[in-house]
Amino acid sequence: DESVAGAKAFRWEQEFKDVMNKGGFDVVIGNPPWLMAGYHVGNELKHLHTNYISAKGKFDLYYCFIEKSIFLLNTNGYFGMIVPNKFFHTKAATSLRDFLATSEYVTQIIDFGYEKIFGDATNYSGILFARKSKNQSLVYLKMDANLNQSLELAIETNRLNKSLWNFHKTDVEQILIKIKKAGEPLKEIVSRFGTGVQTGSDKIFILKRDKISEFKGEKNLLKAILKGKNVRKYHLNGVIDKVIFPYDVVQNTFKIMEEKIFKKYKRTYNYLSSNKTILNRRIWFGKNAKQLSGEWYGLMYLDSYKTFESQHILTPSLSNESNFCLDFGNLFVTGTAGVTSIIIKNIKENIKYLLGLLNSNLINLYIISNSPVFQGGYHKFSANYLKNIPIRRINFSLQEEKELHDEMVKLVDSISVKYQQSNEIRDQFNIKRMEEKIKGSSSSNLL
């Protein structure tokens, strides 16, 4: 764009005059940059937002490369690019999916699934093919670990839209449709999704067990804080770290300590003061700690008191399967390696019934099918990918439904007690047996 690059701007019509006069290129292929635009372009961002349909929200640069490449094709020209396969599911790629679906140019998708094609890339990939003419159908190919074809589907292009793109065999597709019809979206019974704590410097604020002893006599300033790895199915797992938390609770609200009060906690205050230069460099959406919290030693983001002090369901924000558990009172970190909280409204169903449902095989299938995949076969379990989970509500006037509800609650109670009592192999076996019961027949009946 000349407004950004001036005389250095690349002009397709001049550089490829003969080609463009004939309508465009016969073929465009490539491997575009797999980068989030907001982190890697400055002045160009406004130009991209203005001139590209797909450049909406927190978009990736390869969206624009796809769009521009198709624009440069002549009628019936061919396009092929290797791109992250997460665009099938991410909210940021909604406009890109809309552009591709509306044009009906897509002819084939080769999906490498969880297989890493590039050793240094954390995203998984696929190859997108298109032809610049209306196509009634496309071919979807899924590749296995040996890069052999494991699945082939013929899909009518009019089935694609800006919503999530899921490619499954007919029987799996029917199961997902049935799950979706079984209940109302989770967001209808959720008062809010909690997002936790952002310290801006975990290395300084979050203390491992061997470091905690240095704050003898001031441990009331330390609070347990959960990371994604601590949240497992029905229980909290592993060593839970502590976070320096210079806050008081005033009328059910977190209030940061005044510095003159905080100074009385000499060990903690001196420790943070020795790292003040680093802490002053913390920036969160363009603001420093003092602007966000009122003090230089404050947290960069802190969710409401009610988020932590009411019983809620937790999940790792990134997980390879459903790992939901109950919690009360602990802080938790936000972000990709963090935790998402589900705070339920005042409903008739027991929260343990919902917990069992969320940990069931069917709901796991639904989430995995509707969220992008990341390194190691992990999927996003954040609010955007949880809010539409279909939840089977219970009609308590029907005895059969009430019994199913009560059976689920009883099983969840039994599993939770076992996790609290012992980690012996015998009890682990009993836990797994009860978990399988929830995963299987009970959840199927409820859905």
pLDDT in tens, 264-302: 999 999 999 999 999 999 998 889 999 999 999 999 999
Cβ partners under 8 Å of residue 283, min gap 6: 200
- The answer for 344, left when phi > 0, alpha when psi is -120 to 50, beta otherwise, is beta
Neighbours of 419 (CB within 10 A): 19
30 phi and psi, to 5 degrees?
175, 180
Burial of 191 by CB count in 10 Å (0-12 exposed, 13-18 middle, 19+ buried)? middle
Angle between helices 170-181 and 361-369 (to 10 degrees): 110
Name which of 21-25, 81-85, 289-293 the model is least confident about.
21-25
Burial of 418 (0-12, 13-18, 19+ CB in 10 A): buried
What sign has the CA pseudo-torsion 423, 425, 431, 432? positive
Share the mean pLDDT of the chain: 89
The torsion angles phi and psi of 340, rounded to 5 degrees, stand at -115, 135
Is 263:269 a contact under the CB 8 Å cutoff? yes
438 secondary structure, DSSP code: I
pLDDT band at 426 (very low <50, low <70, confident <90, very high): very low
pLDDT(442) > 60:
no
Share of the chain above pLDDT 90, in %: 64
According to DSSP, the β-strands at 312-316 and 325-327 are antiparallel
Tokens of 363: 């709901």
d(CA 427, CA 179): 32
Q: How confident is the model at residue 443 (pLDDT cuts 50, 70, 90)?
A: low
Percent of the chain beyond pLDDT 70?
91
Closest CA to 160 of 111, 99, 114: 99
What is residue 187's predicted lDDT score, i.e. its pLDDT?
Answer: 97
Give the mean pLDDT of 404-431.
78
Strand pairing category for 254-256 and 247-249: antiparallel
CA distance 390 to 369: 13
Contact in structure between 89 and 165 (CB atoms under 8 Å): yes
Burial readout 240-254 (b: 16 or more C-beta within 10 A, e: otherwise): ebbbbbbbeeeeeeb
Mean of the pLDDT values across residues 227-246?
A: 94
Span 99-103, mean pLDDT?
96
The pLDDT tens digits of the residues spanning 151-162 come to 899 999 998 999
The pLDDT assigned to 210 comes to: 87
Which residue type does 180 have?
K
| Alpha-carbon span 131 to 315, nearest angstrom | 42
Cβ–Cβ < 8 Å for 91, 383: no
Per DSSP, the three-state class of 409 is helix
Tens digit of each residue's pLDDT (9 = 90 or more) over 30-46: 999 988 877 667 678 88
Hey, which of 113-117, 148-152, 273-277 has the most confident mean pLDDT? 273-277
Helix, strand, or coil (residue 417): helix
User: Which CATH architecture is the domain 2-167 placed in?
Assistant: 3-Layer(aba) Sandwich (3.40)
Q: Look at the block and give the residue holding tokens 């604020």.
A: 205
Buried b (16+ CB within 10 A) or exposed e, 344-358: beeeebbbbbbbbbb
* Cα dihedral sign, 55-61-62-68: positive
Q: Which has the closest alpha carbon to 303: 272, 340, 346, 268?
A: 340
Where are the alpha helices (H) located in 206-338, listed in sequence order?
A: 209-212, 259-262, 266-273, 276-280, 289-293, 305-309
Taking residues 178-200, report their average pLDDT.
93
Q: Which position has the token pair 């009060």?
A: 261
Please give the distance of CA 256 from its chain centroid, rounded to a whole number. 30
Residues near 366 by Cβ (< 8 Å), separated by ≥ 6? 176, 179, 180, 389, 390
Query: Structural domain boundaries of the chain?
Result: 2-167, 189-396
Q: Are 324 and 233 in contact (CB under 8 A)?
A: yes
Distance CA 333, CA 337 (A): 8
| pLDDT greater than 90 at residue 439 | no
Give mean pLDDT, residues 387-406: 95
Note the pLDDT of residue 42: 66
Q: CB burial class (10 A; 0-12, 13-18, 19+) of residue 55?
A: buried
